Chains A and B, each alone.
Chain A
Amino acid sequence: MGFIEEIKRSFCLDQGIAEPVYRAVIFGDGGAYVENVKAIIKYSCEEVLLSLKSGGLKISGSELYIKKYCAGDVVVCGKITTIQRT
């Protein structure tokens, strides 16, 4: 069984449910890469609020800056303390 299929099974996503609406990869405390972002709602050095296809994602920390923003992908760098779903 493939790796992705195993992940889906552990998260109970293998029963006809659509692909995950976003994917977030966190690199220690130094950065986060988020896929399938619709737009940036708010951006400041302490908080980045992203709009996803359903819902939103809030990244909190300090000295935050956006390393790259292109179609659907956002890379946020800085001292990340919290990532929470909104």
Chain B
Amino acid sequence: MRKDNDNSKDLGLYCVYEVYGLNTERFMNAVKKRGVTLYDIKKYSNKRLRLAVKFTESQKFFAIAEELCYNIKKVGEKGRAKQMFCLFSSLGLIIGAIAFILIAVLANDFILDINYYGSGKIYHREVQEYLSGKGVEEYKRFSDIDLAMIEDGILADNEHLSFASCTKHGNKLLIELVLSSEKVKGLNGNVYQMHSTENGVVESVKVYRGTAVVSVGDMVREGDLLVDGYAVIKDQTIKINVLASITLAVEKTYEYKLVGDDEQENAEIFALAEVGDEDIISTQVQKIPLEGEYLYKVTVKYRRVLYAG
């Protein structure tokens, strides 16, 4: 086969046209005579022809068709460079799409909202304080925080929670909090007086409703009135229910008769077991020898919080 005589560059891209008119053979011969190579010529009817021309010769082809008074219509492109051509012809669209994707990726990394849910939601203020201390706040980035570490930190910081989960949902940080299985006492609203259940010294008084009859430092005995259910409003005394919490420093002594002379530690353990889950202030063990055994006196000082409501 002879080499192509045309010097046009082969970009691997061809434009496909349809030619309408009578005597399409005359058109083909005229175009060929003017140096334009035609490819894939197919005749669909006497007046309709489809052919392909190199992309670089499109303008020349248009001019020839116009001169010969034939109607032509561009159908599309073909060739190995077709995809690149489509890409460059809509470059603005491509740039816009890339910019959108970049912005979406960056924007998705920011925390726009923090939501708390679950049975432990009532402690959301404490959790929020903890998170703020760790730099987890709105408008911070997800990529700067370790969610697993945050979950462990929330549990360690709040003893009332048994489970915490932090998940990213779009731009929201969802925090699920579950209360521990300890039974939480509810308020019944029917308490009109608060009495002491222990002998001790008042350490703190918190009265939300009612009137305190003791103050910090007072010595109280079991059964003493601590908070009374009334309030004085504009010289009127109104009966109300009590809502209060009072902390007493309580001291108790436990005695154990044991055979060994080195049982201080065991005696202390027994005493602490009897006290229970209270906040221990101090313990003191005294050993008194008896006939053949020893008496261990364990004095435990602890805080007891009394609630009414």
Interface positions of A (Cβ within 8 A of B): 33, 35, 39-45, 65-73
Contact B37 A69 (CB under 8 A): yes
Q: Which of B21-29, B98-106, B129-137 contacts A (4 or more CB under 8 A)?
A: B21-29
Contact A41 B6 (CB under 8 A): no
Chain B nearest Cβ from A74, distance in angstroms: 9
Task: Provide the residues of chain A in CB contact with B37, threshold 8 Å.
Answer: 68-71
Beta-carbon nearest neighbor of B1 in chain A:
A33
Interface positions of B (Cβ within 8 A of A): 1-2, 4-6, 24-25, 28-29, 32, 35, 37-43
Chain A nearest Cβ from B5, distance in angstroms: 5
Decide: A69 near B2, CB < 8 A? Known: A40-B29, A41-B25, A43-B25: no
Nearest 4 A-B pairs (CB), nearest first?
A70-B37, A66-B41, A39-B29, A69-B38
Task: Provide the residues of chain B in CB contact with A44, threshold 8 Å.
Answer: 43
A33–B1 alpha-carbon span in the complex (Å): 8
Chain B nearest Cβ from A61, distance in angstroms: 14
A18–B47 alpha-carbon span in the complex (Å): 39
Contact B24 A67 (CB under 8 A): no
Decide: A42 near B25, CB < 8 A? Known: A69-B32, A71-B5, A73-B1: yes
Decide: A65 near B32, CB < 8 A? Known: A71-B5, A73-B2: no
A-B contact pairs, 24 of them (CB 8 A): A33-B1, A39-B25, A39-B29, A40-B25, A40-B28, A43-B24, A43-B28, A43-B43, A45-B43, A65-B40, A65-B42, A66-B41, A67-B39, A67-B40, A69-B28, A69-B38, A70-B6, A70-B37, A71-B5, A71-B6, A71-B35, A71-B37, A72-B2, A73-B1
Contact B25 A70 (CB under 8 A): no
Task: Provide the residues of chain B in CB contact with A65, threshold 8 Å.
Answer: 40-43
Task: Provide the residues of chain B in CB contact with A39, threshold 8 Å.
Answer: 25, 29, 32
Task: Provide the residues of chain A in CB contact with B1, threshold 8 Å.
Answer: 33, 73
Beta-carbon nearest neighbor of B2 in chain A:
A73
Task: Provide the residues of chain A in CB contact with B41, threshold 8 Å.
Answer: 43, 65-67, 69
